[in-house]
Structure 1
Amino acid sequence: MKVIGIFFLWCLLLVVCWPVALLALVLAPLVWLIALPFRLVGVCVGATFAFIKALLFLPARLLGGPAKA
């Protein structure tokens, strides 16, 4: 659903200002390539925090603390 909305917005931009729409079409893969390392760092940081949380809550889980869903 999100892709269809983006496509219709791009079509509207193409009708209103076609040079900007073509520039957006060309620059989108470049922006994605530049943002990719930041996304990978974000995934790694999130995984590290999840691991630290699991380590901190391990004693409570082993001692039979209240289970969280």
Structure 2
Amino acid sequence: MVLERTVEGAYRTLNRILTSDGLTEAIEQWHIYEKPCRRQRESCETCHRIYHMEMAPEMNFVMRKNRADPRQGC
């Protein structure tokens, strides 16, 4: 539903929602045929997935705001 004829705002909102869900990348991948030798994307995505799974706990620790200050005596 578009309120007050703001089509551009509705379009931006829809794109933001689709991008956050990852649907735009999936649609682009199905739209164009990939040759088997060009499917390096799959191995890259696997490497990225593994990296992010290993880094997630470390990033969560770093992003915590209620941890003690390591330099209290300074």
TM-score w.r.t. length of structure 2? 0.46
Larger Rg: 1
TM-score w.r.t. length of structure 1? 0.48
> More relative contact order in 1 or in 2 (CA 8 Å, sep 6+)?
1
